[in-house]
Amino acid sequence: MSRNWVLVALTTAALVAALPAQAGTWSATRTLERPFAASSVPSPPLAAVNGNGHALLAWNATGTVRYAERVKGGAWQRPGPVPGGSTGAGPVALAIGNNEVAAIAYTTAPTRYTPSKLMVSLRAAGGSFGDAVEPVPGVVAGELRLGVACDGSVTLLWSDANGVWISSHVGTGGTGACDGQPGVGPWSPPRLLSQGRSGTALPDLAVNDAGAALAVWQEGAAGNPSAIGAAVREAGADWAPAQTISAATGRATWNPKPGLDAAGNAGVGFLDGNTMVVVTRPAAGAWGTPVPVSGTQAAYYPAFAVSAQGDMLASWLALDLSNIGSIWSVTAAGGGPWTAPVRLSARSESADWPTAAYAGDGSVALVGWTDNATNTVRASVLAIGGWSRRRLGTGYWGGQVPVAAGGGAAVAVWATTSGGNPNAGLLVARSWQ
C-alpha cells in the first residue's frame, strides 16, 4: 500500500527523534589524483554508496577515466583506470547496487577519424571491471546517468541533441535476495523518453532495488526551460509515456532531482522560478501538485534525495539581504510531513552549490557545499541532536561537493589546491561513519 505523502509543517525535534542514533566521525582526507593545473580545474569525482556502506567514486581529471572505492570500515583502495577509459573526454556516470554490481559510463574523445563514443564498463560482485562496450553505437552523449537493481540489471540514461534516451542491460535475476548479477546479453535498443523536445535537458535517474526507475529532465528553450518532464518504469514493467510534472505557472522550471523509495513511491525536487518545490507520486499512482518547501525565500539551486524508506531531503541555496549565499534544508520522514526550513550554513559563510544524499536505510542525511568566503568545503550531517556542520578542507571557489550515503556511511569529494600551491590542484575525498 502506498504511503500518504502529506506535506505539512512539523517540528525539527519530532523528526530527529525518529532517526536512528548516529555518532559518526569524518575520516582523514584521501588524495585521489594529483597534480593537475589549477587553470583548468576539473569537475570533482562522482560518488555513490550502496546499502552495505561500499563507496565508489569515478572521475576524469586528465583524460583518463579512473575510479576509487572504500568498503565500509576499511581504507580507500588505490585508484585505478576504468578499462578502455584512457581516451575519456567526459562526462562520467557511475552506480553501485546493494548486490555489489557496479557500472561506470563515460564518453571518449573524438579524433579526426573517430567520433566520440558512449562506453560502459560493468563489474559483477567480487569481480573486476570488464572491457568497456558501446551499448548504443553512434551516440554523441551529453549528460549520463546509471542505476543498478537487485536482479543485476543496469539502466543507462543519457541526453543528446534529440532529447533524453534510455537503454538497459538485463541481469541474471538472482534468488529473491539482492544477489543478481549482470547478464551476458546486449543492451536494449535506445528509447527516446523526452519525445524529441529540445533544450538543455539536465536529465537525472533514480533506480530502486526492485528495478523501478524514474527519469526526469527539464524542457524548453536553453536558458529558459518551461517544464519538467518525467517517465516512470514500474518494477517488472515497461516505461510509461513521458509526462509533464511541473505546474503551468509561466515561470522557468529548472534542474530536477529524482528519488525513489523501495516501494516505488517517487519524488522530484526542482526550482519553479525561485521557489524550491517537490512533487510526489505514489507507486502505480498519479503525480500530485508541486508543493513549495522553501517558504518565502528565493531559492537558486536545488538538491534533493530520497531514502529507501521514503524519507525525503530537500536543500537549496538562498541569498541573504546582502546577497550572500546560505544553505537551507527541510526533511520529511517516511513520506510524511515536512519540517520547517533549517539553516545549515553559518551567517559568516558565502555558501554555494548544495548537494544532498539520504542513505537507503534512513541512517544518514547529508548536505555538502562550498563556502566562497573562505574557499572552504563544508558538510552537514543529520543525526540525533539535529544537523552537525563540519569543515572538511580547502576547496575551489564555486566548486561543487558531490556527496553520497548508504549503510550508515557517507562520502564527500571535491577538488582542492595542492600543498598550498594555487597553481596546482588535486582531487580528494573524506568518508563518514
pLDDT in tens, 69-85: 999 999 999 999 999 88
- CA distance linking residue 5 with residue 19, whole number of Å: 18
Q: What is the DSSP secondary structure assignment for residue 12, as one 8-state letter?
A: H
Hunting for cell 541533441 — which residue is that? Answer: 161
| Of the listed ranges 49-63, 211-225, 362-376, 416-430, the one predicted with least confidence | 416-430
Structure confidence at residue 278 as a pLDDT band (50, 70, 90): very high
Residue 34 pLDDT > 90: no
- CA distance linking residue 298 with residue 304, whole number of Å: 17
Q: What is the DSSP secondary structure assignment for residue 26, as one 8-state letter?
A: B
Instruction: Identify the pLDDT of residue 197.
Output: 56
Scored b (16 or more CB within 10 A) or e, 172-207 reads beeeeebbbbbbeeebbebeebbeebebbbbbbbbb
On whether the pTM is more than 0.85, the answer is yes
Q: What is the DSSP secondary structure assignment for residue 56, as one 8-state letter?
A: E
**DSSP characters over 258-277:** EEE-TT--EEEEEEETTEEE
Hunting for cell 515561470 — which residue is that? Answer: 251
Percent of the chain with pLDDT strictly greater than 90: 73
Structural domains present in the chain: 9-432 (2.130.10.120)
215-220, long-range: CB < 8 A, 24+ apart: 215/157, 215/164, 215/166, 215/258, 216/245, 216/256, 216/257, 216/258, 216/268, 216/270, 217/159, 217/164, 217/193, 217/256, 218/253, 218/254, 218/255, 218/256, 218/270, 219/194, 219/244, 220/252
Q: What is the pLDDT of residues 312-359, one digit of tens each?
A: 999 999 998 777 999 999 999 987 899 999 999 999 999 999 999 999
Closest CA to 228 of 253, 263, 260: 253
Hunting for cell 569481480 — which residue is that? Answer: 127
Q: What is the pLDDT of residues 82-107, one digit of tens each?
A: 998 887 777 899 999 999 999 999 99
Instruction: Identify the pLDDT of residue 1.
Output: 33
Q: Are strands 213-221 and 224-233 parallel, antiparallel or unpaired?
A: antiparallel
- CA distance linking residue 89 with residue 62, whole number of Å: 9
Hunting for cell 543507462 — which residue is that? Answer: 156
Structure confidence at residue 199 as a pLDDT band (50, 70, 90): low
Over residues 139-159, mean pLDDT: 94
∠ CA 148-263-235, rounded to 5°: 55
The per-residue pLDDT of the chain, averaged, comes to 90
Cell of 400: 561543487
Hunting for cell 509543517 — which residue is that? Answer: 9
- CA distance linking residue 367 with residue 313, whole number of Å: 9
- CA distance linking residue 109 with residue 112, whole number of Å: 10
Q: What is the pLDDT of residues 153-186, one digit of tens each?
A: 999 999 988 899 999 999 999 888 999 999 999 9
Residue 44 pLDDT > 50: yes
- Number of C-alpha atoms within 13 angstroms, CB side, residue 382? 34
Cell of 254: 529548472
Distances in Å between the alpha carbon of 417 and those of 30, 311, 387? 14, 36, 28
Is 15 in a helix, a strand, or coil? helix
